């Protein structure tokens, strides 16, 4: 459907399994699924629990609600009335042709119209309002909310809905600060100031207490909490020897949408192209320019404790933050504009231009977003920010590298663990795991087509002498305890990968008499480290100062730096004239994503988490996938040749119900050898989206796991089902059984495309990048690379002869 009429939407509260309800509904003509919110689980209770045929009632979590769209308003009303009649008299006789509804009704607690509770469900609105009143109290005069309307393609209907909303807001004593309409993602939203009296009414009397939440035109109401970044330290930053300033030439490849950097810092001068159309820099004090300066420093130089070669192109910077109005030194995402619209305009200005002016940086291929929305992570639907990035990635062929988000609330551990760091380390992991649903991915890190990055506890600061008031409680190389974890929407894999985010220390907890638990809170270490060392604004005009920071933002900036390195390799092309040519530049953004994921694996962090958490063996892979994604990025595997490993890349466009088959040459030195080897295949694609509440992903591109007999191994790491739920499939097959294949044999990889939401039109194609590697131990063979390369060259020559003859 192109749009959804709210009058046709019914909410079905399940009392049984989704599978049983779907089976019952499939036998009823005229019903169509609008969406399946599979993540929406709750603890079982006496009225709402799962039952096993073998053991009776279980303790398994249960799905809660889903939404169906009816064929017409009359049918929706009839279904609600029929259910109420059946609930009053379960033994009633159904009219002819309606008997099949009995089976469906038995799986339900209720059928109801879309209402006030649905508009705020899982948005965190009530929790946000309650916290604000508790902390601010009587001084709170108003709150900001983002109101998303049911999108209407008809102009007159949109105008009528907007007029009604303005009236409702005015009557409530509020006012509209901003509005936005993005047709491509069916987004029609408003930023509204509501008086505190409206908040108090809802908290005291429920969601239906105010007219705003009962207005039919409204789909969702969410708290609007622009991300605020505190300075890493209030102490004077340290002076650091910097490389001589250098002005770089060329066209920018990377865009940083963030705070305004300190442009004349020694690490940044001559290396930035700042575009500030909103004139945010006029009131941006030097003392507040922390976050943008840090991110620019990491992208250009890496960790300054062990800097790499700086980027040889300028970095395009578009400020989207400003100094906080009250908190000294803090920065905040612009708070009087809808962030979704602000990002839309910023990216469009880069690629297309704005206000009749030419594009500001059409050469950009990668966009770094180390910012996000601080509202509660949404687990049941894609955020508007996520929808926007998914569409922009396709529309402008961009790779968005996005931070997963940070959750800085203390971890609660048993009090007895406060006396021993090893016990505390294990309990902290368990606490982080148990609160994973509260530490979900923050928008726009939920975007399917973005590369979402988590942080690992590591940096280049080296060994440090720590005071007895802090603990280095996270093992080096393990996922940071403060980082957001997956899964993503529809249980897709998020974060996609993890990278160095800086070591974070925790204050050593004080165990009070009689206390059963203690809090583990993050310590401030910006002045002395550890952490990633970054450029920072100094005092008295100093331009050579640094600080130590940590976070998923840092990891994201460092991954962006590696993405630029990959683009260098792709743009340079093949090493020799007789090698097959590299894929066209059209596929470089999606290939960059595929190559970054391809160089990631669980490795030692996966083994440590298994030992520490001891998960149920049947659920272990699924749980670890949510905590680790596709694993930790190994920078050493990016663009570096290895004699015992061959890496093959390709890019193409595929249409609906098509199949592309690739023959991966297998090295003769591995044939019939019972030695360790690994085959890794990574497929990334730009997934088209269905912007309404229908099944979100419009098409699925995937490959079948290669034949075990030929690969001589078994699947490892990420959950088999989860790898196909997003827009990146990463499969690792490893083992020690012999690989059975003929001389000059090859491994077939079949890439297929199928409709996922019945919206992919005939003739429409999807860009994808495929990376496949074959490797073994050095002791087994040092000729894998050369053997595969020789076969590829032979194939290329044969294809060239065929074209000449043709």
- pLDDT (tens digit, 9 = 90+) per residue, 507-565? 998 888 888 999 989 988 777 789 999 999 988 788 999 999 999 999 999 999 999 99
- Cα-Cα-Cα-Cα dihedral sign, residues 548, 553, 556, 557: negative
Of 32, 88, 756, 45, give the one whose Cα is nearest residue 12: 32
What value does the mean pLDDT take over residues 122-128? 84
- Determine whether 517 is exposed, middle or buried from the number of CB atoms within 10 Å of its CB (0-12, 13-18, 19+): middle
By the 8 A CB rule, do 333 and 291 touch? no
- Stretch (H or E) spanning 42: strand 41-42
The pairs formed by 349-352 with CB atoms below 8 angstroms and a separation of 24 or more are 349/275, 349/277, 349/318, 350/255, 350/316, 350/318, 351/396, 351/398
Instruction: Identify the weakest region by mean pLDDT among 100-104, 191-195, 494-498, 555-559.
Output: 100-104
569 has pLDDT over 60 = yes
Using DSSP, state whether 784 is helix, strand or coil.
helix
Q: 3 falls in which pLDDT band (50, 70, 90)?
A: low
Cis-peptide, bond into residue 530, ω within 30° of zero = yes
Report pLDDT for 642.
86
Report pLDDT for 801.
62
Helices (H) and strands (E) in the chain, counts: 17, 39
Report pLDDT for 226.
85
632 has pLDDT over 90 = yes
804 has pLDDT over 70 = no
Residue 273, strand partner residues:
316
What value does the mean pLDDT take over residues 785-802? 81
- Stretch (H or E) spanning 11: strand 9-14
Q: 793 falls in which pLDDT band (50, 70, 90)?
A: confident
Residue 373 has φ and ψ, to the nearest 5°, of -95, 130
d(CA 741, CA 23) in angstroms, rounded, equals 44
Please give the biggest Cα pair distance in the chain: 88
Using DSSP, state whether 666 is helix, strand or coil.
coil
By the 8 A CB rule, do 497 and 453 touch? yes
Report pLDDT for 31.
59
Of 434, 432, 490, give the one whose Cα is nearest residue 457: 432
DSSP string, 334-402: -SSS-HHHHHHHHHHHHHT-STTPPPS-TT--EEEE---B-SPPPSSS--HHHHHHHHHHHHHT-EEEE
Query: How many CA atoms are closer than 13 Å to the CA of 675, on its beta-carbon side?
Result: 13
- pLDDT (tens digit, 9 = 90+) per residue, 29-77? 655 554 444 334 444 444 444 444 455 545 455 456 777 766 667 777 8
What value does the mean pLDDT take over residues 678-690? 92
Question: Which carries the bigger pLDDT value, residue 734 or residue 524?
Answer: 734
d(CA 683, CA 703) in angstroms, rounded, equals 8
Report pLDDT for 85.
92
d(CA 433, CA 709) in angstroms, rounded, equals 37
- pLDDT (tens digit, 9 = 90+) per residue, 225-245? 888 888 887 666 777 777 777
Report pLDDT for 375.
64
d(CA 142, CA 210) in angstroms, rounded, equals 15
Q: What is the mean pLDDT of the chain?
A: 86
Report pLDDT for 71.
64
- pLDDT (tens digit, 9 = 90+) per residue, 374-430? 665 555 678 899 999 999 999 999 999 999 999 888 999 999 988 888 999 999 998
Q: 277 falls in which pLDDT band (50, 70, 90)?
A: very high
d(CA 501, CA 484) in angstroms, rounded, equals 13
Report pLDDT for 800.
65
Query: How many CA atoms are closer than 13 Å to the CA of 381, on its beta-carbon side?
Result: 21
d(CA 724, CA 438) in angstroms, rounded, equals 25
330 has pLDDT over 50 = yes
Residue keyed to tokens 């920065």: 331
Report pLDDT for 36.
47
d(CA 74, CA 8) in angstroms, rounded, equals 9
- How is the chain split among helix, strand and coil, in percent rounded to 5? 30, 25, 45
Report pLDDT for 765.
93
Q: 613 falls in which pLDDT band (50, 70, 90)?
A: confident
By the 8 A CB rule, do 231 and 329 touch? yes
Residue keyed to tokens 């490797």: 775
Residue 258, strand partner residues:
319
d(CA 291, CA 272) in angstroms, rounded, equals 15
**Tokens linked to 218:** 């409204």
- pLDDT (tens digit, 9 = 90+) per residue, 239-262? 777 777 788 999 999 999 999 999
Report pLDDT for 591.
97
Of 522, 494, 477, give the one whose Cα is nearest residue 436: 494
- Determine whether 704 is exposed, middle or buried from the number of CB atoms within 10 Å of its CB (0-12, 13-18, 19+): exposed
CA distances from 324 to 257, 366, 393, 568 (A): 17, 28, 30, 38
What percent of the chain has a predicted confidence (pLDDT) above 90?
Answer: 49
Q: 457 falls in which pLDDT band (50, 70, 90)?
A: very high
Residue 519, strand partner residues:
412
- CA 672 to chain CA centroid, nearest Å: 41
Report pLDDT for 258.
97
d(CA 120, CA 176) in angstroms, rounded, equals 19
- pLDDT (tens digit, 9 = 90+) per residue, 143-158? 999 999 988 888 998 9
What value does the mean pLDDT take over residues 734-745? 84
- CA 154 to chain CA centroid, nearest Å: 32
Instruction: Identify the weakest region by mean pLDDT among 4-8, 180-184, 418-422.
Output: 4-8
Residue 272, strand partner residues:
315
CA angle 767, 185, 759 (to 5 degrees): 55
- CA 188 to chain CA centroid, nearest Å: 23
pTM for the structure as a whole:
0.90
From edge to edge, which strands make up the β-sheet containing 659-665?
A: 659-665, 746-755, 699-703
Of 44-53, 237-246, 264-273, 707-716, highest mean pLDDT: 264-273
- Cα-Cα-Cα-Cα dihedral sign, residues 378, 381, 383, 387: positive
d(CA 540, CA 476) in angstroms, rounded, equals 37
Question: Which carries the bigger pLDDT value, residue 93 or residue 100?
Answer: 93
Report pLDDT for 26.
66
459 has pLDDT over 90 = yes
d(CA 371, CA 500) in angstroms, rounded, equals 17
List CB contacts of 122: < 8 A, sequence separation 6 or more: 40, 376, 378, 379, 380, 381
- Cα-Cα-Cα-Cα dihedral sign, residues 643, 646, 647, 649: positive
**Tokens linked to 465:** 């002498």
Report pLDDT for 477.
93
By the 8 A CB rule, do 458 and 436 touch? no
DSSP string, 219-239: EEEEE--B-EE--S-SSPPEE
CA dihedral 736, 737, 741, 744 (to 10 degrees): 20
Report pLDDT for 50.
44
Q: 678 falls in which pLDDT band (50, 70, 90)?
A: very high
270 has pLDDT over 90 = yes
**Tokens linked to 704:** 């079948």
């Amino acid at each position: 459907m192109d749009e959804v009429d709210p009058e046709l939407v019914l909410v079905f509260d399940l009392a049984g399994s989704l599978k049983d309800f779907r089976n019952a509904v499939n036998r009823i003509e005229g019903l169509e699924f609008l969406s399946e919110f599979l993540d929406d689980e709750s603890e079982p209770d006496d009225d709402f629990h799962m039952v096993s045929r073998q053991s009776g009632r279980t303790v398994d979590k249960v799905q809660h609600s889903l939404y169906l769209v009816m064929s017409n308003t009359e049918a929706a009303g009839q279904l609600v009335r029929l259910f109420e009649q059946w609930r009053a008299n379960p033994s009633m006789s159904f009219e002819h042709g309606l008997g099949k509804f009995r089976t469906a009704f038995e799986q339900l607690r209720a059928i109801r119209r879309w209402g006030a509770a649905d508009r705020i469900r899982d948005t965190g609105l009530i929790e946000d309002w309650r916290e604000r009143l508790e902390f601010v109290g009587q001084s709170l005069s108003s709150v900001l909310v983002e109101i998303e309307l049911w999108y209407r393609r008809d102009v007159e209907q949109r105008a009528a809905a907007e007029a009604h909303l303005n009236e409702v807001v005015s009557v409530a004593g509020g006012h509209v600060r901003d509005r936005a309409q993005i047709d491509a993602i069916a987004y029609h939203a408003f930023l509204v100031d509501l008086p505190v009296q409206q908040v108090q009414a809802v908290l005291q009397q429920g969601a239906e207490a105010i007219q705003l939440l009962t207005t039919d035109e409204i789909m969702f109401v969410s708290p609007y909490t622009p991300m605020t970044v505190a300075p890493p330290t209030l102490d004077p930053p340290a002076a650091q020897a910097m490389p001589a300033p250098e002005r770089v030439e060329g066209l920018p490849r990377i865009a940083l949408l963030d705070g305004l950097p300190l442009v004349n810092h020694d690490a940044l001068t001559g290396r930035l192209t700042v575009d500030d159309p909103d004139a945010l820099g006029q009131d941006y004090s030097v003392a507040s320019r922390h976050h943008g300066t840090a991110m620019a420093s990491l992208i250009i130089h890496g960790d300054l404790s062990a800097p790499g070669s700086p980027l040889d192109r300028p970095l395009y910077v578009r400020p989207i933050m400003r100094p906080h109005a009250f908190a000294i030194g803090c920065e905040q995402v612009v708070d009087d504009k809808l962030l979704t619209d602000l990002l839309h305009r910023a990216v469009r200005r880069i690629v297309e231009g704005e206000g009749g002016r030419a594009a500001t940086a059409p050469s950009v291929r990668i966009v770094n977003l180390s910012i996000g929305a601080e509202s509660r992570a949404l687990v049941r639907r894609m955020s508007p920010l996520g929808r926007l990035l998914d569409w922009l990635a396709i529309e402008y062929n961009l790779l968005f590298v996005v931070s997963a988000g940070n959750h800085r609330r203390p971890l609660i551990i048993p009090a007895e663990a406060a006396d021993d760091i090893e016990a505390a380390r294990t309990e902290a992991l368990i606490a982080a795991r148990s609160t994973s649903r509260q530490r979900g991915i923050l928008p726009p890190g939920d975007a399917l087509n973005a590369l979402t990055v988590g942080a690992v506890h590591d940096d280049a600061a080296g060994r440090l002498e720590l005071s007895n008031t802090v603990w280095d409680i996270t093992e080096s190389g393990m996922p940071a305890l403060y980082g957001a974890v997956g899964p993503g929407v529809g249980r897709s894999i998020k974060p996609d990968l993890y990278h160095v985010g800086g070591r974070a220390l925790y204050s050593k907890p004080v165990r009070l008499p009689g206390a059963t638990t203690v809090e583990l809170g993050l310590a401030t270490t910006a002045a002395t480290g550890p952490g990633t060392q970054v450029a920072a604004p100094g005092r008295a005009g100093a331009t050579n100062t640094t600080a130590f920071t940590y976070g998923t933002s840092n990891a994201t900036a460092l991954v962006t730096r590696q993405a630029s390195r990959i683009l260098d390799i792709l743009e340079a092309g093949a090493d020799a004239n007789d090698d097959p040519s590299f894929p066209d530049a059209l596929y470089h953004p999606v290939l960059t994503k595929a190559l970054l994921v391809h160089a990631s694996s669980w490795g030692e962090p996966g083994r440590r988490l298994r030992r520490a958490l001891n998960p149920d063996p049947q659920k272990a892979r699924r749980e670890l996938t949510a905590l680790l994604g596709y694993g930790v990025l190994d920078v050493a595997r990016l663009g570096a040749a290895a004699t015992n490993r061959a890496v093959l890349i390709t890019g193409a466009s595929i249409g609906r119900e098509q199949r592309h088959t690739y023959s991966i040459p297998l090295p003769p030195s591995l044939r019939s050898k019972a030695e360790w080897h690994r085959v890794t295949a990574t497929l990334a694609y730009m997934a088209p989206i269905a912007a309404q509440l229908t099944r979100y992903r419009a098409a699925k591109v995937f490959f079948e796991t290669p034949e075990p007999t030929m690969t001589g191994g078994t699947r490892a790491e990420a959950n088999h089902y989860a790898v196909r739920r997003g827009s990146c499939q990463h499969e690792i097959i490893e083992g020690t059984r012999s690989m059975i294949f003929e001389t000059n044999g090859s491994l077939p990889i079949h890439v297929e495309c199928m409709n996922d939401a019945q919206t992919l039109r005939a003739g429409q194609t999807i860009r994808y990048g495929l990376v496949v590697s074959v490797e073994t131990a050095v002791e087994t063979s040092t000729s894998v690379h050369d053997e595969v390369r020789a076969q590829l060259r032979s194939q290329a020559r044969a294809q060239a002869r065929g074209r000449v003859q043709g």
